[in-house]
A and B are shown apart, each in its own frame.
Chain A
Amino acid sequence: MADATISGIPVATGIAIGKAYFVNRNHMAHLPRQTVAASLMPQEIARLKDAFASVEAELTTIREQVPEELKTHGSLIDTHLMMLKDPKLVNTAEGYITSLGLNAAWALEKSVADQEAAFESISDTYIRERMQDVRVVADRVQTKLMGVETDLTTISGRAIIMAHDLTPADTVELQVDKIMAFATVRGGKTSHTGIMARSLAIPALVGVDKLEDAVRDGDLVIIDGLAGKIIVNPTEAELEDYNERAAKFETYSRKIKRQCHLPAETFDGSRVQVFSNIELVEEVTSALDNGGEGVGLYRTEYAYLNRIELPTEEELTEKYIDLASIMYPRKVVFRTLDLGSDKFIAAFGELNEANPAMGLRAIRFCLKNPQLFKTQLRAILRASAYGNVSMMFPMISGVKEVRQAKAWLAQARAELRREGVKYDPDMPVGIMIELPAAVLIAEFLAHEVDFFSIGTNDLIQYSIGVDRTNRHVSYLYQPLHPATLRAIKLVVDAAHQAGIEVSLCGEVASDPFCIPILLGMGIDSISMTPQAIPGIKRIIRQINMHDCRLLLKDVLECRTVSRINNLVMDNIFKHFPEEVSFFSSLLENDELPS
């Protein structure tokens, strides 16, 4: 038996076998709390100061290595350095060593707690949040004091990086060519770690709760980025099994990747367009390499996160033009700023809302901050002169909202025209269908816009009323709930009735089990993470539209999720036994037929 098998959320596929190295463990649970004799105090103070000094040296080196394109990382590290050098932090800790006889780690912890107390009373949420930066630096010092860190620059072989969380400083420091996989305790599907791992094409798991208890530095681990498992110190038999599986996956990936530039055309000749969801302009390489036919969803939030000032129109325009012109003549769909809920920007502080997912987010936030909105609209319009650009508004709940958003767009257009700046006057404008309200009035909304894009992640969340990051109810997050399916069908039908195209972005699009149903509904295009494209295209090329329609008909008559899941799984198992062993599905795994 292996020492342990733990699970997490797979954010980048693949299998890796190697030695575990911890980058930053959460030591707080095991913080040594001891008192030291007066005679040892000077030594303890020296230890404290040494730890501060060596972290300072470390951060300074990292700061120098930050590449130009990661400027935001750089200024974040500058702030961390200033906090580290803050006399307050170290002097207070030193005071606790002399006055209370605490050991260095405990004294520092108390000093951090004092800062926390001082920050707590501040009403400015942005400033209050800076406390997290103090935590990040203090953690680095704690790690030094406890003498358990791994020097990443000295990793000799290839390593599997494990961390409580990966901060921007960590990622700059990592020598990417030596990393085989990532696993972190924190983080969700869209965290920094996932984006990094996908762009490096290495497997990664996030949200691995028991990681720090189950894995020690140097343990041999298998990271299964397909099933979302980590096997710690596997047996000979498990190793052999996984070596074989890894090799098979490698062969399979290579095979499907070779065919990824073929069109996604079903056996009986129906074409579906397959696009990429991307977040960073740098991801276009992987979008194109994996056979993406364009960018179906460019999440524009990233340029606003992890920074203090808002990006300027020039800065955005430059980035957007880059993206549009690299992809040309392929399409790029810009989604306007989707902030709020779990993503905030420093310039606005955190919105203190009881129900952020139902609060001031996405288009609502933009309509409340028209200056910020218009800056982005102008930048997208300016980029439209250089490519095949479309634009869509997220979280639309009614006709009036679309009209308001379009009014700002019209104003941005008029300004540019007056200024003599070029833009594409025919740029298509669409909306995301993510709210049940939008589904129910899809036929009205269809007359206001040029296309729909169904955002299934949010649509499922709002339809079933379930926060899927809430572990008590996440089991209710069911992509193939009869309500979700009916909602998607309604939207597709309304779009086609009005003669506009409808696409779908969301994890459902990259789940092979869901693909036949989406095709059966007549979806025009799907958009997904670049890495999923080759596999999904291959599935599409091997199915018949006729069969998809028949399956859909049966599925729409089912009254329970489990009945639907069974039908869909049977279908995929029958046609794609090979794929099934490599893909993880959103559907309930415990109902897999044996």
Chain B
Amino acid sequence: MTDESASTDANPGESLSRQVIVASENGLHARPAGRLAQVAQSFESSIVLVRDDQEVDAKSILDILTLAAEPGHVLELRATGGDAEAALIRLEQLFKNKFEV
């Protein structure tokens, strides 16, 4: 699985995306979901998390929980806005570190 699917030099307004894998032991449970939402909230861009045909707001812990993402699931992160790229880099890192800071 590669995470190089992101297009990098986009115009503002265009959305950037990349794929991430849920590596934390219990999937996107309360703590990882909370941390993800918290970090997402620190960016201006609107960020969504997509699993199959379900798309949720990455800034909402409730939304993330309803994805019920389990370990090994592949999700897509999509960000639109001025700091979209920075947001994706930071969030991807979060997934890689299993949400440990």
Q: Which residues of A contact B (CB under 8 A)?
A: 75, 78-79, 82-83, 85-89, 115, 118-119, 122-124, 126-127, 130, 133-134, 308-309, 346-347
Report if A87-B29 is in contact (Cβ < 8 Å); known contacts: A82-B34, A123-B68: no
**A460 nearest CB across to chain B (Å):** 37
Contacts of A79 in B (CB 8 A): 30-31, 34, 61
**Interface membership of B76, Cβ < 8 A:** no
Q: A87 contacts B60, CB within 8 Å?
A: yes
A83–B25 CB distance below 8 A? no
Contacts of A119 in B (CB 8 A): 65-66
CB atoms of B62 and A118 under 8 A apart: yes
Give the shortest distance, in Å, between B75 (CB) and chain A (any CB): 15
Binding site secondary structure of chain B:
helix
A82 and B61 within 8 A (CB): yes
Q: Inside 8 A of B68's CB, which chain A residues have their CB?
A: 122-124, 127
Candidates A78, A115, A124; contact of B62 at CB < 8 Å: A115
Q: In this assembly, does B38 line the interface, its C-beta being within 8 Å of a C-beta of chain A?
A: yes
Say yes or no for B41: interface residue by CB 8 A criterion.
yes
B57 in contact (CB, < 8 A): yes
Other CB < 8 Å A-B pairs besides A79-B31, A119-B66, A133-B30, 10 of them? A79-B34, A82-B38, A83-B62, A86-B37, A88-B63, A118-B66, A122-B65, A123-B68, A124-B70, A127-B65
Nearest Cβ distance between residue A310 and chain B, in whole angstroms?
10
> Whole-angstrom distance between the alpha carbons of A167 and B60 in the complex?
23
Do the beta carbons of B62 and A86 come within 8 Å of each other?
yes
Task: Determine whether the beta carbon of B30 is less than 8 Å from that of A122.
Answer: no
- A82 cross-chain contacts in B, Cβ below 8 A: 33-34, 37-38, 61
Asked whether, in the complex, the Cβ of B60 is within 8 Å of the Cβ of A86, the reply is yes
Hey, which chain B residues are within 8 Å of A83, CB to CB?
A: 61-62
Interface size on B, residues (CB 8 A): 21
**Interface status of B59 (Cβ within 8 A of chain A):** yes
Tell me if B93 counts as interface (CB < 8 A to partner A). no
**Chain A residue at minimal CB-CB distance from B28:** A127
**Complex alpha-carbon distance, A494 and B59, angstroms:** 63
- A78 CA to B68 CA in the complex, in Å? 20
Q: Tell whether B8 is near chain A: CB-to-CB under 8 Å.
A: no
> Within the assembled complex, what's the spacing in Å between the Cα atoms of A346 and B29?
10
Please, which residues of chain B bring their CB within 8 A of the CB of A85? Answer: 41
- Which has the most chain A C-beta neighbours within 10 Å: B59, B61, B68? B61
B21 CB to nearest A CB, Å: 18
The distance from the CB of B1 to the nearest CB of chain A, in whole angstroms, is: 23
B97 near A: Cβ within 8 Å? Answer: no
**Which chain B residue lies CB-closest to A76?**
B30
Least distance between B67 CB and chain A CB atoms (Å): 9
B66, closest chain A residue (CB): A118
Minimum distance in angstroms from A17 CB to a CB of chain B: 42
1/0 per residue B23-61: CB within 8 Å of A?
A: 001110111011001100100000000000000010111
Q: Please give me the residue from chain B that is nearest to A121 by CB atom.
A: B66
A478 to chain B minimum Cβ distance, whole angstroms, is: 42
Q: Which residues of B contact A75 (CB under 8 A)?
A: 31
Q: Mind listing 21 A-B residue pairs with CB under 8 Å? A: A75-B31, A78-B31, A79-B30, A82-B37, A83-B61, A83-B62, A86-B60, A86-B63, A87-B57, A88-B60, A88-B63, A122-B65, A123-B68, A124-B27, A126-B26, A126-B29, A127-B65, A127-B66, A127-B68, A130-B30, A308-B30
Nearest B-chain residue to A118, judged by Cβ:
B66
Q: Verify A134–B62 contact, CB threshold 8 A.
A: yes
Query: Does A130 contact B60, Cβ atoms closer than 8 Å?
Result: no
Given the complex, which residues of B lie within 8 Å of A134, measured CB to CB?
Answer: 62
Query: Smallest Cβ distance from A157 to chain B, in angstroms?
Result: 39
CB of A78 to closest CB in B, whole Å:
7
Closest Cβ neighbor of A91 among chain B residues = B60
